[in-house]
Chains A and B, each alone.
Chain A
Amino acid sequence: MNWTFFHKLGSPKWFYEISGKWLPWLAILAALLMASGLIWGLMFTPPDYLQGNSYRIIFLHVPTAFLAQAIYVMMACAGVVTLVWKMKLADMALKCCAPIGASFCLLALVTGAIWGKPTWGTWWVWDARLTSMLILLFLYMGVIALRGAIRNTNTAAKACAILTLVGVINIPIIKFSVQWWNTLHQGATLKLTEKPSMAPEMLWPLLISIAAFYLFFTVVLILRLRTEILDRERRTKWVHKIVAAGAGN
């Protein structure tokens, strides 16, 4: 197998150049999808027969909860690459993912709490799904704090990779919490193996907003990564050239 693409991918300069070309298109697509998904969900879908209009929170809640978990898994993968191949870009990705994941995790928790009030009659219960999600937020904060506490870049990279990998055990717990324990939280609406238990006029805007949030994540991750690359490669000539050419896109 030809591994050159793998090493190319690990080169910050190559990533900086290629991502600059993708960024505007991804950003436009993310904005269009997000606007259409959320406006469709808010204004054009019929209310739920049980939950009424409060279910419209789903179009924010489900994408952000998905992403909060997916970003953590991605960080764990980046952690493995950091530990095994010592790839610079993987550690940068791990660092840049953390604040985005934490913000989405917080949003999933807050939207869930607000949704819980009209549906369950309470903002918060110490139930398996909610508690494991709160632990995920703490794990994100732990990774961010750990990096802030260690000055040496290489040591911080290793420590954060290990912490991320230890924390990944929480992901299957979140996923299966609604099956293993008796919880207030409803079971999964979307499953890969079965037909969704949702009417198509509600399902489509949900799928669109999930795609939109994934794209949005890609865009803001690239934004952060490009800044991180400039910061870490600031002694190289190519970065000096970009900066000299005016803010450098």
Chain B
Amino acid sequence: MYFESFASLIHMDGHGMYVWPTYGIGLLIIAYNIISPLRARKRIVAQIQRQVRGSQSRSKSFSQNNSLSQKKSFSHKKSHSPAADHQPGATDDLSEKKKAAGPRVKVSTKNQGVREGEVE
């Protein structure tokens, strides 16, 4: 080491008061650059997890309701569908309703297929 003692390393012949704060600020910037993307990642992953779970629970409730009558299944489904995020699954609801207006058996298999594919 160039410096003889810890005290002289801190003091640096009077320049320590400039050098050490500089390195402190440098450390802060480095920490920001590491922490900020990690936190963003956590947030985004949680969002996507919610979104996937949302579409899973919707598909579950849909398959359960297939045993009930058509009208009931719609009202039931509405109350159970997670209201939160706007995502592709949410817009699919409309098309499902349209399809569901057709023959019952055909519709249920079709929709299940779509759901499973999306959740996979």
Asked if B94 is at the interface (CB within 8 A of a chain A CB), the reply is no
Asked if B114 is at the interface (CB within 8 A of a chain A CB), the reply is no
Counting contact residues on chain B (CB < 8 A from A), the size range is 35 or more
Asked if A129 is at the interface (CB within 8 A of a chain B CB), the reply is no
Asked if A248 is at the interface (CB within 8 A of a chain B CB), the reply is yes
Asked if B101 is at the interface (CB within 8 A of a chain A CB), the reply is no
Annotate A220-249 by CB proximity to B: 1 below 8 A, 0 otherwise.
100110110011001101011101100110
Q: Beyond A46-B2, A231-B44, is A237–B37 a contact (Cβ under 8 Å)?
A: no
Please determine whether A111 and B22 come into contact, CB atoms closer than 8 angstroms: yes
Asked if B88 is at the interface (CB within 8 A of a chain A CB), the reply is yes
Option from B2, B21, B88, B118 in Cβ contact (under 8 Å) with A43: B2
Set of chain A residues within 8 Å of B118, measured between Cβ atoms: 237
Counting contact residues on chain A (CB < 8 A from B), the size range is 35 or more
Please determine whether A107 and B26 come into contact, CB atoms closer than 8 angstroms: yes
Please determine whether B2 and A115 come into contact, CB atoms closer than 8 angstroms: no
Asked if B16 is at the interface (CB within 8 A of a chain A CB), the reply is yes
Interface of chain B residues 22 through 69 with chain A (CB within 8 A): 22-23, 25-26, 29-30, 32-34, 36-38, 40-42, 44-45, 47-49, 51-52
Set of chain B residues within 8 Å of A111, measured between Cβ atoms: 22, 25-26
Annotate B82-120 by CB proximity to A: 1 below 8 A, 0 otherwise.
000001100000000000000000000000000000111
Query: Could you tell me the distance between the alpha carbons of A99 and B52 in the complex, rounded to whole angstroms?
Result: 30
Q: Beyond A38-B23, A53-B13, is A43–B52 a contact (Cβ under 8 Å)?
A: no
Set of chain B residues within 8 Å of A243, measured between Cβ atoms: 45, 48-49, 52
Option from B23, B30, B48 in Cβ contact (under 8 Å) with A230: B48
Q: Is the interface of B mostly helix, strand, loop or mixed?
A: helix
Please determine whether A240 and B119 come into contact, CB atoms closer than 8 angstroms: yes
Q: Is the interface of A mostly helix, strand, loop or mixed?
A: helix
Distance (whole angstroms) from the CB of B11 to the closest CB of chain A: 9
Distance (whole angstroms) from the CB of A142 to the closest CB of chain B: 20
Please determine whether B29 and A106 come into contact, CB atoms closer than 8 angstroms: yes
Please determine whether A247 and B45 come into contact, CB atoms closer than 8 angstroms: yes
Which B residue sits closest to A248, measured CB to CB? B45
Query: Could you tell me the distance between the alpha carbons of A235 and B117 in the complex, rounded to whole angstroms?
Result: 12
Please determine whether A54 and B52 come into contact, CB atoms closer than 8 angstroms: no
Please determine whether B41 and A107 come into contact, CB atoms closer than 8 angstroms: no
Interface of chain A residues 77 through 125 with chain B (CB within 8 A): 99-100, 103-104, 106-107, 110-111, 114-115, 117-118
Please determine whether A43 and B1 come into contact, CB atoms closer than 8 angstroms: yes
Query: Could you tell me the distance between the alpha carbons of A53 and B3 in the complex, rounded to whole angstroms?
Result: 11
Option from A46, A117, A231, A247 in Cβ contact (under 8 Å) with B18: A117
Set of chain B residues within 8 Å of A34, measured between Cβ atoms: 30
Option from A46, A53, A64, A216 in Cβ contact (under 8 Å) with B12: A53
Asked if B15 is at the interface (CB within 8 A of a chain A CB), the reply is yes
Set of chain B residues within 8 Å of A104, measured between Cβ atoms: 29
Set of chain A residues within 8 Å of B34, measured between Cβ atoms: 220, 223
Option from A42, A46, A103, A227 in Cβ contact (under 8 Å) with B44: A227
Q: Beyond A114-B18, A224-B37, A240-B119, is A44–B48 a contact (Cβ under 8 Å)?
A: no
List chain B positions with a Cβ less than 8 A from chain A: 1-3, 9, 12-16, 18-19, 21-23, 25-26, 29-30, 32-34, 36-38, 40-42, 44-45, 47-49, 51-52, 87-88, 118-120
Across the A-B interface, give the 7 residue pairs with the lowest CB-CB distance, nearest first. Answer: A53-B12, A223-B37, A53-B15, A54-B15, A227-B41, A224-B37, A220-B33
